[in-house]
Amino acid sequence: MRLQDKVAIITGAAGGQGKEEALLFAKEGAIVIATDMQKDLMEKTGEEIKAISPKSEVMVHNVAKDEDWKKVVDLAIEKFGKVDILVNNAGISTDLNIVETSLEKWDQVIDVNLKGTFLGMRHVIPHMEKNGGGSIVNISSIAGLTGGSGASAYTASKGGVRLLTKAVAVDFAKKNIRCNSVHPGYIETPMTKELFENEQTHDWFQSLTPLPRLGKSIDIAYGVLYLASDESNFVTGIELPVDGGYYAQ
């Protein structure tokens, strides 16, 4: 029970990595406030979470909206009196290069991936300060560590998450608030299912990863669990690649 009685907000928790994180946190004793834009799917996932951690809550939540964040954090404080952990997991992707990217698409990706992370921390940190500390885990990407080709808006957003994480880690270390980022590699999730269904594409992406398989959502969840737990209480400002060795090349 590595998160016994801790209150954790996890965004993008309806499926994929966020769902695995929420279920794992619940198994480790946390009260989870799981949020997502996908109402029906979030409610279904919420039933699984509550079967493990009955006090947990589910909310429909657009991370790019300030007023939505206020509702989520207000619920946490009103019901549980604190927020110990924030996992900024919600995100969207695009594979367009900078010329192909419309202003609308750019704004959409930056709003969800970077602005959403900013808003979450801005709302949660004052309560963590009052509570004597906390742990923030921001989900970036290997695209936040390297350039790569295409996906200009996605890469910019995830690079922004990486450095925003470090800025917050330094600014609030004296308040015992830790802030770290996780950088998934090529992971099999509902979002990548269609891409990896093509055997040739699947094998090509696997060939880029030194370990002999693609990652799974639970691989990311275990990394997030470590950074959220007290086991990492002397760890802040790091970037943790969970990528099968991709970034080591």
Catalytic machinery residues: 154
- Report CA torsion sign: 40, 110, 239, 82: negative
| Among the listed residues 58, 26, 65, 21, the one whose alpha carbon sits nearest the alpha carbon of residue 41 | 58
Element (H, E) at 154: helix 152-172
Bridge partners (DSSP) of residue 237 are: none
Give 23-82 as a DSSP string: HHHHHTT-EEEEEES-HHHHHHHHHHHHHH-TT-EEEE--TT-HHHHHHHHHHHHHHHS-
What would the two tokens of residue 95 be?
Answer: 């594979």
DSSP code per residue over 193-219: HHHHHSHHHHHHHHHTSSSSS-EEHHH
